[in-house]
Chain A
Amino acid sequence: MDLLRITNLTTVFLTRRGVVRAVDHINLRIKEGEVIGLVGESGCGKSVSMLSILRLVPYPGKIIDGEVIFNGENLLKKPLTEMRKIRGKEIAMIFQDPMTTLNPVFRVGEQIRESLRIHGIINGNHGEKKRVFSWFANKARREFEQQRVMKLIEEVELPSPEERYHQYPYELSGGMQQRVLTAIALSCEPKLILADEPTTALDVTVQAQILELFNRVIKKHRTSMILVTHNLGVAAEFCQRIGVMYAGRIVETGPTNKVMENPKHPYTCGLLRSIPKISKKRVRIKPIPGNVPDLVELSHKCAFYPRCEKASPVCEEKEIELKEVEEGHLVHCALSK
């Protein structure tokens, strides 16, 4: 049973220059406990896809097509009040730059606790928010929340949790801040975590630590995760399945090892070829020629066509369908069999 199924999701931005198709008919599926990666260059629409799932796309963006089925319900059709119950509780998000993502005027502990408060997690039951006015009940609730937050801080492996609780974000290093963000995401025990380039702003050594933390946490809570990154190495190590995005479309998806060893889409091939490798032989890196296209008014034809080395007249003619080349391995290319 799929936990989340995205079909034909399309998000556009209505700007003065024209309509920017940031996300163009993408399809994605994820099961419980699965980790999938969304890989692609900057500006290819990965972040916007994540925001679209939670319907947090900023103005002037609009989701104009598609379905996002989570636990059997279409999130795009839900009223906002219900959507708010899902945000943070069923689906949580971890953002890219922890320094700017944490509110600088609130203490760290308070920010983690806020998630608990919003969703009314009292006494361990994920009940509805109850308005408890008596001071004693409030005190008990505060203490419970504080304990819960402490446990979370410990779980994300932050040293000296008591100190951390009362500190401000600027007092922490990048890695520590990212752990705090992870704690916030985990606080209500979500079923799905959307991680938008969580390691990009961090040092390489810290990156590895954070990924390991994710690993442990996911295994422990049986949470699913969509990991968005432009770093193929990270995706390869961490994710069970991978989706490759280009110009707002998913051009190839499949199990990680299959996509990495046997890439079928010319863009994926180009990406893999352009990674510098440590090896005995000195090999010239082959970058993909050309630039990412302007996302205003692309058509349903292949977006990679101008840069593709295997381009042929077939690519320009018809609408391109998703083809399954192996089991679970899908490619969006006119030339694959």
Chain B
Amino acid sequence: MTIKVLERILVVIPIMFGVTICVFFLMRLTPGDPVDVMLGGASYVTEEEEQALRKEFHLDKPLHQQLLLFLSGLGKGDLGASFVMRRPVTEMIAERLPATIELALGALLFGLIVAIPTGIICAVKQNSIIDRTSMAVAFLGISMPGFWLGLVLILIFSVWGHLLPVSGRITYGLRPEHITGLYVLDSLLTGNFAALVNSLKHLILPSITLGAILAAIVARVLRSNMLEVLRADYISLARSKGLRETAVVIKHALRNALIPTVTIVGIQIGVLLGGNMIVETVFAWPGLGRLVVTSIFASDYPVVQGTVMVYAFTFVIANLLVDILYTFLNPKITM
């Protein structure tokens, strides 16, 4: 069993390496001179200062040396420095990471809590009103652009309904003590009720927007897998043992139906990561996604490079975890 896990981890390493090289070289393909971008066309900079800038960012060295420097820096956890802010990229990412994690967790929670019961109920009560309505809604969900959904939700709940805040993570001044960086968790841990309510209110709409497409896809996939599983013979056997129907569905059917569903969830994490940027832009959520977008417009290449790499790595690791989870769920793979 551990051998299989190790094998999977080994496969991942060349991919991560490939990703790094890929991102590095693609970044270098950008037209224009980074130094000019950094200076923004200021004319008062002297020749020496420009050279000093070049040296600082290693832009005077040949490409392969730059690559080696980058890789060695990577080993130490250094992703370079931002052109615009002159701060280490890692620092900037670390600042914004909790926000993105909170959003991702919120979306995942919402998505799974909605999708799993829906998938089960729709399969058990096939072709009922609940089934047809839910599947119609799910179909709508996969056809909807995420940013539009976010805007419509804001329109309905914030602008017209005045129920929820329009954007941001928390009202200024209500920030709870920093323990994990996740406001909801921190306010729970410190017993700060006002902060808890406030941060939750800010978290709801973005989580729903990001989690909606996840929910739609997982609900459909789970339903179809459950339908297949419920036709199997071992379900009849479970019933003939005298097992209650709920137990038959949850203990016997769900366990089997979850296996192919988990693979799909793994793929959808990519959609979650991508949609993350859109949702953060719509809701002005101060996370990694917004950092990527603003850096692109500011031509802050090290930051773009760093964040893209972080996203890619997260995706790869997430898929690895899903694969490992799959090995645990499906006994046939352990062989």
- Write the chain B residue with the least CB distance to A105: B255
Q: Is the CB of A118 within 8 A of B243?
A: yes
Q: Is the CB of B243 within 8 A of A56?
A: no
Q: A184 interface residue, CB < 8 Å from B? A: yes
A64 to B244, CA, bound (A): 24
List of A residues within 8 angstroms of B252 by Cβ: 103
**B263 shortest CB reach to chain A, Å:** 15
Taking a contact as CB atoms closer than 8 A, the residue among B237, B240, B332 that contacts A170 in the complex is: B332
- Write the chain B residue with the least CB distance to A92: B240
Most chain A CB atoms below 10 A, which of B240, B244, B329, B330: B240
Q: Is the CB of B237 within 8 A of A102?
A: yes
Interface string of B305-335 (1 = CB under 8 A from A): 0000000000000000000000001111000
Q: Is the CB of B256 within 8 A of A88?
A: no
Taking a contact as CB atoms closer than 8 A, the residue among B233, B241, B255 that contacts A184 in the complex is: B241
Q: A119 interface residue, CB < 8 Å from B? A: yes
Most chain A CB atoms below 10 A, which of B237, B238, B329: B237
Q: Is the CB of A95 within 8 A of B255?
A: no
List of A residues within 8 angstroms of B330 by Cβ: 105
Q: Is the CB of A84 within 8 A of B240?
A: no
Q: B236 interface residue, CB < 8 Å from A? A: yes
Interface string of A91-108 (1 = CB under 8 A from B): 011011100111111100
- Write the chain A residue with the least CB distance to B240: A93
Q: A86 interface residue, CB < 8 Å from B? A: yes
Taking a contact as CB atoms closer than 8 A, the residue among A56, A84, A104, A119 that contacts B244 in the complex is: A84
Q: Is the CB of A105 within 8 A of B236?
A: no
Q: A238 interface residue, CB < 8 Å from B? A: no
Q: B42 interface residue, CB < 8 Å from A? A: no
Q: A168 interface residue, CB < 8 Å from B? A: yes
Which bucket holds chain A's interface residue count?
A: 20 to 34
A168 to B334, CA, bound (A): 11
**A100 shortest CB reach to chain B, Å:** 4
Taking a contact as CB atoms closer than 8 A, the residue among A56, A92, A119 that contacts B239 in the complex is: A56
Question: Which residues 64-118 in A have Cβ within 8 Å of B in the complex?
Answer: 84-89, 92-93, 95-97, 100-106, 114-115, 118
Taking a contact as CB atoms closer than 8 A, the residue among A92, A93, A101, A114 that contacts B243 in the complex is: A114
**B240 shortest CB reach to chain A, Å:** 4
List of A residues within 8 angstroms of B332 by Cβ: 104, 168, 170
Q: A54 interface residue, CB < 8 Å from B? A: yes
**A233 shortest CB reach to chain B, Å:** 25
**A11 shortest CB reach to chain B, Å:** 15
Taking a contact as CB atoms closer than 8 A, the residue among B242, B256, B259, B329 that contacts A103 in the complex is: B256
Question: Which residues 239-253 in B have Cβ within 8 Å of A in the complex?
Answer: 239-244, 252
Question: Given A95-B233, A97-B233, A104–B242 Cβ distance below 8 Å?
Answer: no
Q: Is the CB of A88 within 8 A of B233?
A: no
Q: B139 interface residue, CB < 8 Å from A? A: no
Question: Which residues 215-259 in B have Cβ within 8 Å of A in the complex?
Answer: 232-234, 236-244, 252, 255-256, 259
Q: Is the CB of A100 within 8 A of B240?
A: no
List of B residues within 8 angstroms of A105 by Cβ: 255-256, 259, 329-331
**B228 shortest CB reach to chain A, Å:** 12
Q: Is the CB of B242 within 8 A of A84?
A: yes
A102 to B332, CA, bound (A): 14
Q: Is the CB of B242 within 8 A of A101?
A: no
List of A residues within 8 angstroms of B239 by Cβ: 56, 87
List of A residues within 8 angstroms of B331 by Cβ: 104-105, 168, 170
List of A residues within 8 angstroms of B240 by Cβ: 54, 56, 87-88, 92-93, 95
Taking a contact as CB atoms closer than 8 A, the residue among A51, A118, A168, A181 that contacts B242 in the complex is: A118
Question: Which residues 181-238 in B have Cβ within 8 Å of A in the complex?
Answer: 232-234, 236-238
Interface string of A148-168 (1 = CB under 8 A from B): 000000000000000000001
List of A residues within 8 angstroms of B243 by Cβ: 84, 88, 114, 118
A96 to B330, CA, bound (A): 24
8 closest A-B pairs (Cβ-Cβ)? A87-B242, A88-B241, A88-B242, A103-B234, A100-B233, A93-B240, A84-B242, A101-B233
Q: List 22 A-B contacts (CB under 8 A).
A: A51-B236, A93-B240, A95-B236, A95-B237, A95-B240, A97-B233, A101-B233, A101-B236, A103-B234, A103-B237, A103-B256, A104-B234, A104-B256, A104-B331, A105-B255, A105-B330, A105-B331, A106-B255, A114-B238, A118-B242, A168-B332, A170-B331
* Chain A interface residues toward B at CB < 8 A: 51, 54, 56, 58, 84-89, 92-93, 95-97, 100-106, 114-115, 118-119, 168, 170, 181, 184
